[in-house]
Amino acid sequence: MTVPNILLSGIVGSTAYGLAHAGSDVDRLGLFAAPTAELHGLRGPKESHVTTAPDRTLHEAAKWCRLALGGNPTAMELVWLPDELYEVRTPLGDELIGIRTSFLCAQRVRDAYLGYATQQFRRLENRGDGSFSADTRKRTAKHARHLKRLCHQGLELYATGRLAIRVEDPEEYHAFGERVAADPSAALPLLRYYETAFDEATPALPERPDETVVEAWLHRVRDLFYTSAWSQASSMP
């Protein structure tokens, strides 16, 4: 599947975190600009394109902005990747990276990261006492690693205003995953620890995101892709 007008795209997920192992999928995330004229028709353009083999998700620019403004951890990591993990990087993509802190606010970051971590814990909790298949144990360990990552990254973003994608000690995360795979209840103390840590931390983020800056960037996207379409139409006989 070919998606035109990709503005920014890179490798995310376990590879980006430093938690991948042999056989891990390589996940890609990006955003694209729909031709502006399509936004004014009877039916709007498709807002997301998702494929497997390769695993790739592309969101239309406005949808990505809405996700990021809501504190969505998966969307947000796209603009904090190490440089070498970007595969498509346009001037508008660079602009987006430059305004990444405008999407942030304390309450949404807290709610999103702790909320996703809590969802991971509920998945673990529903699996009982650890007496399940090898495949389920593998998935359980993966969910536990991501619970720990979400907690750590969310608190760092909340308290410092910066998001480090790569974890410092991958082996610590793998060991935690194995402990939780043997006993899912072992994840609860970590979740409780981070709930308290969020309560006690002084946020480095504002109370509200700067939607004016985000809106201005999106208008530049629309202007560029409207002008391109209009120029092509005007040149037709």
pLDDT in tens, 183-223: 988 999 999 999 999 999 999 999 999 999 999 999 999 99
Q: What is the pTM of this model?
A: 0.89
Give just the sign of the alpha carbon dihedral 98, 164, 63, 72.
Answer: negative
CB 185 within 8 A of CB 148: no
Residue 25 pLDDT: 87
What's the whole-number mean pLDDT along residues 99-112?
A: 97
Map out the domains of the chain as residue ranges. 6-102, 106-200
What's the whole-number mean pLDDT along residues 95-111?
A: 98
Indicate whether 128 pLDDT > 70.
Answer: no
- Cα 50 to Cα 66: distance, rounded to the nearest angstrom: 18
Give just the sign of the alpha carbon dihedral 27, 33, 37, 43.
Answer: positive
